[in-house]
Amino acid sequence: MSLVLVANRAPIRPTPDGWAPSLGGLASALLPVLEDRGGAWVAMRGPDEETPLTQTYPPETAAFTVRRVPLEEPEFEAFYQGMANRVLWPLSHYLVEHVEPDRSFRDAYRAVNRRFAHAALDVARTDLAAGREQPTFWVQDYHMMLVPETIRAGLPDARIGFFWHVPWPASEVFRILPSARDLLRGMLASDLVGFHTEGYAENFRESARDLLGAKVEGETITFEGHRCRAESHPIGIDVERFEGLAMAPGAAEMAAEIREDLGGVQIVLGVDRLDYTKGLLLRMEAFERFLELYPERHGEVSLVQIATPSRTGVPAYDQLKREMDEASGRINGRYAKGAWAPVRYRYQSFDQAELAAYYQAADVAFVTPLRDGMNLVAHEFAAVSAVCAERGGRPGALVLSELTGAADYLDGAFLVNPYDADGLARTLDTALDLPETERRARLSQMREAVRDLDVHVWAQRFLESLDAEGED
């Protein structure tokens, strides 16, 4: 059965010589599925984009269609910058102080979700009119909570999956939203809703029970006569791609160059979008604490923090940018000596080959989000570092926030509380001195988990569970 995906971001991007898959796991997992099954991907066209509204892809086979829903500036502001990024994103991550509910955000969100759903319905109706089977729908993430409801109203027997890529908070936190019930209703029109952990799925079922009085039996939620399952389907990375990057000719040299440029010190690495959920400021403070506690490390260790620009124009992101500039300046001003700088802060985007080189160069990956649905940087680091260690390179260690989905799966990591500066500093000290045999043992443990959660397997498992719907 063909597939209609609905996601805010498109799976392909324009390049100087045509089109290429978007970077990131979702596109790499789902493009092969779409090429195989056919169908469409419905995505947003932002106000500054000039991409076509409809195009087939790949150009040679035209296996599926990319349809874009064009948003004008005010709609984009209220739906994406507003409801998605100033309300749903912080709330899901328990950062209630960043939540700014606004009536106009809500209205725009509803209107834009309807347009996405109608674009998806159009694809299905065209299929049906041509005598083809009705496609399966798969809706992605917190931008699209109301889409299932509109699809269901248009095609009552549709098969609809939904995947929620961020944490689902405790019901008592979710209910803070004035539109909590409407949003839940919108999602419950799905047949299957997937989450990264059983804890998030459990929170979702509880929200449905507490806020809407839905009946919950095992994984199944029954609401107004419709059954929807909430299951855990943890996502991972494209393992083959990252292992390939680690083994690529020149990768080891690139890593050696990074180390040399930093003066041969030990490297503690952070890689994140510049986002307040990632715990970047607290991480900087923890590193400062580390320098206070361990003066003998001065000149011997640097924190390389890569922060890729994200959601610029949203006030909290712009503010964080200023605070990170200030924090890195403060720490370097206080401790830098000769050629050594304790913090190497890079507010830039890097391609995956460069990131893989940084992963390979790092002694410790310092992954300390305040909350994260999964956190794939942890997976990427473990995959790359494990391959390098296997090929005779230096194995790295992973320090990981216990408030991430990844902490449920990556047993070889050092788990930390990202709010505990002293704890982070001490764990960093331990991780930097970890004997090589233990690093290797921990990495091979993590590698198993990373392979089990491969993003292609994730997509396949979710779709199998969705396709099984109604077959009994």
Interface residues with ligand G6P (CB under 6 A) are 8-9, 141, 165-166, 310-311
Which residue's CB is nearer to ligand G6P, number 106 or number 143? 143
Query: Nearest approach, Cβ of 382 to ligand G6P (angstroms)?
Result: 19
User: Distance between alpha carbon 199 and the CA centroid of its chain, in Å?
Assistant: 17
Residue 375 beta carbon to ligand G6P: minimum distance, rounded to whole angstroms:
10
Closer by beta carbon to ligand G6P, 166 or else 431? 166
* Selected catalytic residue, list 165, 196, 233, 379: 165
Nearest distance from C-beta of residue 80 to ligand G6P, angstroms: 7
Q: How far apart are CA 144 and CA 7, in angstroms?
A: 7
Measured CA to CA, the distance from residue 112 to residue 118 in angstroms comes to 10
Shortest distance, position 85 Cβ to ligand G6P, whole Å: 6
**How many Å apart are CA 77 and CA 75, to the nearest integer?**
5
Nearest-CA neighbor of 362 among 340, 386, 328? 386
- Closer CB to ligand G6P, 234 or 395, in the complex: 234
Nearer to ligand G6P, 310 or 465 (CB): 310
| Residue closer to ligand G6P (CB basis): 89 or 335 | 89
Q: Are strands 12-15 and 18-21 parallel, antiparallel or unpaired?
A: antiparallel
How far apart are the C-alpha atoms of 296 and 57, rounded to whole Å? 56
Helix/strand/coil percent split, the chain, to 5: 50, 20, 30
Helix pair angle (180-188, 147-154), 10° resolution = 50
Residues 139, 161: contact at Cβ < 8 Å? yes
88 versus 425: smaller Cβ distance to ligand G6P: 88
Helices (runs of H) and strands (runs of E) counted in the chain: 17, 18
Q: Which residue is nearest to ligand G6P (CB)?
A: 165
Which string of DSSP letters, residue by residue, matches 184-204? HHHHHTSSEEEESSHHHHHHH
Active-site residue, selected from the candidate residues 127, 372, 379, 454: 372
Q: Please say which residue, 165 or 344, places its beta carbon nearer to ligand G6P.
A: 165
* Angstrom distance (rounded) from CA 436 to CA 58: 45
Q: How far is the CB of 310 from ligand G6P (least distance, A)?
A: 6
Nearest to 1 by CA among 88, 123, 100: 123
Known active-site residue 210: no
CA dihedral sign of residues 166, 238, 253, 19: negative
Q: Is 372 a catalytic residue?
A: yes
Tell me how far apart the alpha carbons of residues 398 and 322 are, in angstroms, rounded to a whole number.
28
In whole angstroms, how close is the CB of 89 to ligand G6P at the nearest point?
A: 8
Neighbours of 392 (CB within 10 A): 7
Q: Supply the Cα-derived Rg of the chain in whole angstroms.
A: 23
Sign of the C-alpha dihedral computed for residues 368, 11, 109 and 167 taken in this order: negative
What span, in angstroms and rounded, lies between the C-alpha atoms of 158 and 148?
10
Shortest separation between residue 9's beta carbon and ligand G6P, angstroms: 5
- Kindly state the tokens that stand for 272: 């994140």
In the complex, least distance from residue 8 CB atom to ligand G6P, rounded to whole angstroms: 6
Residue 148 or 393: the one with the smaller Cβ distance to ligand G6P is 148
Sequence-distant (6+) residues with CB within 8 A of 204 are: 164, 168, 193, 195, 230
User: What are the residue numbers of the active site?
Assistant: 165, 372
